Amino acid sequence: MSEPFAAQIASLNLHCFRNFVAGELKFGAAQNLLIGPNGAGKTNLLEAVHLLSTTRSFRGAKDAEMVMSGHSAAKLQCEAGLDRLELRIPSHGRRTAAINGSEVGRVSELMGRMPSVCFSTADMDVVRGEPSDQRRFLDVELSQQRPQYLRWFTVFNSALRQRNALLKAIRGGTEPRSSLPVWNRELAESSSCIRAARIEYLNELSELADRFHQELSLGAESLEIEYLYADESSDADSFVMHLDRCESQDIAAGFTTIGAHRDRVAIRISGREAKSFASQGQQRTAVLAIKLAQVEQWKAAKRVVPILLLDDIFSDLDQERRKRVLAVSGGLGQVVITATDLGSVESALSGGAKVFRVQNGKVEATCGED
């Protein structure tokens, strides 16, 4: 079997994005370390790469927040393999995207061209946040990796909005209950597809994440990930039956109380719920293990090694775990890491590492491969 294709970003160009008026960054093929004080713009660079990869800000930022003050739009460009990707983000209005100089009809066509896996402080919500944060994590990853998932997800959200609007209208007496079955069926079928994909993905991820977690914790801890339904439906037909049973409750509430939009993920460290019992360092190690597992899952499922983006990974980690993260991630393909201090991690960098200094929206390569 041939070696997996390694996704790589060769260069990144920014115009009026966050605190970067203009700038170009040429990445190395292995580890890339962005060093600078807080507020210098390190995370902005990772956010730009993630936007070109997924069309989403991992900070959950609104478009206007990403455009430099006083300007009408931000423009992001990158060279990735044989593709030249471009995303234009206006402060008001619709985004546009181009691939190899030709504008595409939908911005979502960028997805999958330059796959990436990102860890940021926001990803700690996978362990300690709400079920909605866990579902968002799954939806972003599966939408990148499986185009059919994005289609199911779009159908599901549309059906959910339509059914919720209908429930309110029935409650208000302007629509009959007989209008519900068509939306029940569409919601049930798309919900079942989404759930099946999420479960399959998490089953693969759990085993890999446990392996990485044991590496990072030097065998001291295990990690388990489990997908939990918010109801007892096993397939589309049983879900329709549950919707029928919940009909009066849903009408009274004015929204759909069961389905894939209510499910959650349980993450356990050595058998105990990580959200309630793990320390901050243990939680961070768990999320890092999940992110490293995502890279391996991409390799197994798609024969692709995604770019690994690691933002502020060293907080709450002792020196030994920092070294383990760098050692493990150094063998996974192209990695971009942010840190405030080079000295604490320099000895653990791989031989081909490239180091950049970031200061006040400007970036300069200081050492590493050309």
Residue 222 has pLDDT above 90, yes or no: yes
In a domain, residue 136? The reply is no
What mean pLDDT is predicted for residues 150-178?
95
Domain around 207: 148-302
Beta bridge partners of 34: 338, 356
57 and 192 part of one domain: no
271-323 pLDDT, tens per residue?
999 999 999 889 989 999 999 999 999 888 888 899 999 998 877 677 777 77
The strand pair at 83-90 and 73-80 is best described as antiparallel
pTM: predicted TM-score of the whole model, two decimal places: 0.85
Confidence band, pLDDT 50/70/90 cuts, at residue 138: very high
The one-letter amino acid at 319: Q
What pLDDT, on the 0 to 100 scale, is given for residue 206? Answer: 95
Of 302, 337, 362, the last residue of a domain is 302
Task: Identify the residue with better confidence: 358 or 318.
Answer: 358
Q: The domain that contains 317 carries what CATH number?
A: 3.40.50.300
Whether residues 197 and 74 fall in one domain: no
pLDDT of residue 102: 96
Return the sign of the alpha-carbon dihedral for residues 27, 121, 286, 301.
negative
* Rounded-to-integer distance, Cα 17 and Cα 23, Å: 10
Query: Is 39 inside any structural domain?
Result: yes
pLDDT at 342 over 80: no
Question: Any idea which of 1-10, 13-22, 181-190, 299-308 has the lowest mean pLDDT?
Answer: 1-10
Distance CA 29, CA 351 (A): 11
Tell whether 184 is covered by a domain: yes
Residues 81-105 have pLDDT tens digits of 889 999 999 999 999 999 999 999 9
Residue 53 lies in a domain: yes
Q: For position 159, which CATH number holds?
A: 1.20.1050.90
On whether both 75 and 18 belong to a single domain, the answer is: yes
- pLDDT (0 to 100) of residue 370: 46
How much is the average pLDDT of 222-228? 95
Domain end call among 243, 274, 302: 302
Average pLDDT along the chain: 90
- Taking residues 207-218, report their average pLDDT: 92
User: pLDDT tens digits for 295-304?
Assistant: 999 888 888 8
**Are residue 233 and residue 312 in the same domain, yes or no?**
no
- pLDDT tens per residue, range 35-62: 999 889 999 999 999 999 999 999 989 9
Structural domain count of the chain: 2
Residue 120 lies in a domain: no
Whether residue 69 is predicted with pLDDT greater than 90 in this model: the reply is yes
Residue 369 predicted with pLDDT over 60: no
pLDDT of amino acid 79: 95
pLDDT, residue 181, reads 94
Residue 122 within any structural domain of the chain? no
On whether both 295 and 317 belong to a single domain, the answer is no
Residue 327 and residue 282 share a domain: no
Q: Domain check: are 106 and 22 in the same one?
A: yes
Residue 30 lies inside a defined structural domain of this protein? yes
The last residue of a domain, from among 302, 318, 349: 302
Same structural domain, 155 and 297: yes
Same-domain check for residues 312 and 285: no
Return all residues near 20 (Cβ < 8 A) that are at least 6 apart: 14, 41, 44, 45, 68, 361, 362
Average pLDDT over residues 158-184: 95
**Can you tell me the distance from the alpha carbon of 185 to that of 30, in angstroms, rounded to the nearest whole number?**
48
Q: Of 89-103, 108-122, 181-195, 235-249, which range is least confident?
A: 108-122
Lowest-confidence region among 239-248, 259-268, 346-355: 346-355
Q: Looking at the structure, do residues 293 and 167 belong to the same domain, yes or no?
A: yes
Residue 128 lies in a domain: no
On whether both 108 and 170 belong to a single domain, the answer is no
Q: In this predicted structure, what is the pLDDT of residue 68?
A: 95
pLDDT at 351 over 70: no
Q: Do 200 and 154 share a domain, yes or no?
A: yes
The whole-number pLDDT of residue 172 equals 95
The whole-number pLDDT of residue 283 equals 92
Poorest-confidence range of 47-61, 105-119, 254-268, 351-365? 351-365
